[in-house]
A = this chain, B = another copy of it.
Amino acid sequence: MNSILIIGQSNMAGRGFIEDVPPIYNEHINMLRNGRWQMMAEPLNFDRHVAGVGPAASFAQAWTEDHPGESIGIIACAEGGSSIDEWTIGGLLARHAISEAKFAIETSEIVGILWHQGESDSYGERYKTYEDKLLSLFKHLREELNAPHIPIIVGELGHYLGETGFGKSAVEYNQINQVLSKVAYTEKNCYFVTSKGLTANPDGIHIDAISQRKFGLRYYEAFSKQKHVLDILDMEHEWIEKEAKRELTKNESIYVQSMKFALGQLSFEEFSINVSRINERKS
């Protein structure tokens, strides 16, 4: 199996409201929990009680469409509110992400890293020292994971920052974006993804759920084509509409029934009948 490490702060973890987008269930997308793989459900990156939709689910969904019959695993290690200084070599977050990734490597091959971070560094001229810190982290991760050439995809900070709510303090997001872009252009196998057109939750800092679906598609475009993605993709809206209509497979349907049953939304009889019906289906 292939796997992807996702790191950074809250917008990589995901704070899009789960109820705002059709759920993604896919038996070919796995998430690492307790060092093992299980079928995905959002939130994929449960760094906080309020975790929600991030870019990883639509990234992975797009990956499975390009790789029929194959599976992908998400190693989710993003941490809300973390600054670049909390991602130093030898620091807890980097060590923990590497530790999780090493569990994943026992049963998968890491083929990419998704990075989104910088809101917490968008003030106080922190952009002046950001570049070296990020480059050091990427170099360290490549060494530790023995993955010198895998693509690292760097997402731009939202253009809505610096205006309202919790986003108001991120006054230097433009400067951070310039550094992120520079890193992606100078570092080998590193690609930049625009946040053009993405919108925020009412908090003014977190990318909303529908925008996260789009962002994930852009991350995947950069990953799969190994190129910078500097504009909105033509297919974003169409993909999201198509995705909402996707029929679940037998396994996915049973997963959803099991989840509802486990949450007390179905009686055992209802659950049993529903699962029998699913099992009678042809596919």
Contacts and interface: CB of A to CB of B under 8 A. Distances in A.
A50 interface: yes
A206 B268 CA distance: 13
Given A41-B49, A202-B264, 20 more contacts: A15-B262, A33-B79, A34-B47, A34-B93, A34-B96, A35-B92, A35-B99, A36-B79, A36-B92, A36-B93, A49-B259, A50-B259, A50-B263, A52-B263, A99-B99, A201-B262, A203-B262, A203-B268, A204-B268, A206-B262
B50 A33 contact: no
The secondary structure that dominates the A interface is loop
A1 to B, nearest CB: 15
A138 interface: no
A35 B202 contact: no
A48 interface: yes
A113 to B, nearest CB: 16
A2 interface: no
Contact of A103 (B41, B48, B52, B96): B96
Interface residues of A, number: 38
A34 B77 contact: yes
Nearest to A78: B34
Contacts of A204: 268
Given A46-B46, A263-B50, A164 B35 contact: no
A123 interface: no
Contacts of A34: 47, 77, 79, 92-93, 96-97
A175 interface: no
Contacts of A17: 263-264
A267 interface: yes
Given A103-B92, A202-B267, A268-B165, A33 B47 contact: yes
